[in-house]
A and B are shown apart, each in its own frame.
Chain A
């Protein structure tokens, strides 16, 4: 995967990106299969090479627990950043709605590599901060929209 095609590898040189990707293993997730479940230990970070990943949260719908899609990630994007953020547990579930190929990067190898190559660690951490920050801002705005409606409903 070329660095410019991946949100995680952005601003890395081709050589730096190649060394990161060398830690990874390519996985094919069949259509409808799960990549990880909510609460699972987050040992690996995933770069989507091809296909799509649906991130879901459980919701009670008519007394039954249903997985509701909260975000979809496509080629070039990253899922499973809980692998780099304590307490290293997935806070969402991930499934593939169609056959999807991902590159799984093990946390421990990445940590060691970042310790030995702080510049690479800094660039990747910055890219990860963009991914996390974007989700935070998005959900913050969504939460405020819901709150506004709740307030309007209860003060009408």
Chain B
């Protein structure tokens, strides 16, 4: 009889512990503060750029060089073009007319 009561008490105790643990595990968490945390303002989202309406071409390579250098490049281009044109006049063929020079404006 004593043994039966002991087993019964132990079972009741185990059931109580299990119930408490289950209740603790399933109880929804409550915020310690009832005040809604302040939300940071979200940066304004720009227009989508995936299919941009207007594609801005990169600046030409010449736009970053000093004007003096640019003028020297133009002069060099003229000289190279004249030399190429002169070669064509000396030997007028289709290939000679369209030979490529090393000018920065055509490369």
Q: Which residues of A contact B81 (CB under 8 A)?
A: 142, 145-146
> B75 is contacted by which of A69, A134, A145 (Cβ under 8 Å)?
A69
Query: If the complex has contacts A61-B70, A68-B74, A68-B78, are A138 and B97 also in contact, measured as CB distance less than 8 A?
Result: no
Which residue on chain B has the smallest CB distance to residue A67? B71
Known: A61-B67, A62-B67, A138-B89. A145 touches B84 (CB 8 A): yes
State which of A59, A66, A68, A141 has its C-beta within 8 Å of the C-beta of B89.
A141
Q: Is the CB of B98 within 8 A of A59?
A: no
What total of chain A residues lie within 8 Å of the partner, measured CB to CB? 20
Please report the C-alpha to C-alpha distance between residue A65 and residue B48 in the assembled complex, in whole angstroms.
41
Q: How far is the CB of B37 from chain A (nearest CB, A)?
A: 55
Interface string of B23-46 (1 = CB under 8 A from A): 000000000000000000000000
* B106 surroundings in chain A (CB, below 8 A): 149
Bound complex: CA A64 to CA B67 (Å)? 10
The interface residues of chain A, by DSSP majority, are classed as helix
Within 8 A of A (CB), among B90-107: 97-98, 106
State whether B88 touches A68 (Cβ < 8 A).
Answer: no
Mark out the residues of chain A between 20 and 73 whose CB falls within 8 Å of any chain B CB in the assembled complex: 59, 61-62, 64, 66, 68-71
Inter-chain contacts of B71 with A (CB < 8 A): 61, 66, 68
B contacts with A, residue count (CB < 8 A): 16
B-facing residues in A132-156 (Cβ within 8 Å):
134, 137-139, 141-142, 144-146, 148-149
A66 to B78 alpha-carbon distance, docked (Å): 14
Nearest CB of chain B from residue A87's CB, rounded to whole Å: 26
| Complex partner residue of A145 from B70, B74, B89, B97, CB under 8 angstroms | B97
Q: Is B86 an interface residue (CB 8 A)?
A: yes
CB distance from B48 to the nearest CB of A (A): 28
Smallest CB separation, A55 vs chain B (Å): 11
Chain B residues in 8 Å Cβ range of A134: 89
Quote the shortest CB–CB distance from A150 to chain B (angstroms). 11
What separation, in Å, do the CA atoms of A137 and B85 have in the docked complex?
Answer: 8
B68 CB to nearest chain A CB (Å): 10
* B residues near A142, Cβ cutoff 8 Å: 81-82, 85
Q: A: which residues have CB within 8 A of B?
A: 59, 61-62, 64, 66, 68-71, 134, 137-139, 141-142, 144-146, 148-149
User: Can you report 11 residue pairs joining A to B where beta carbons are below 8 Å apart?
Assistant: A62-B67, A64-B67, A66-B67, A66-B71, A68-B78, A69-B75, A139-B85, A141-B88, A142-B82, A145-B81, A146-B81
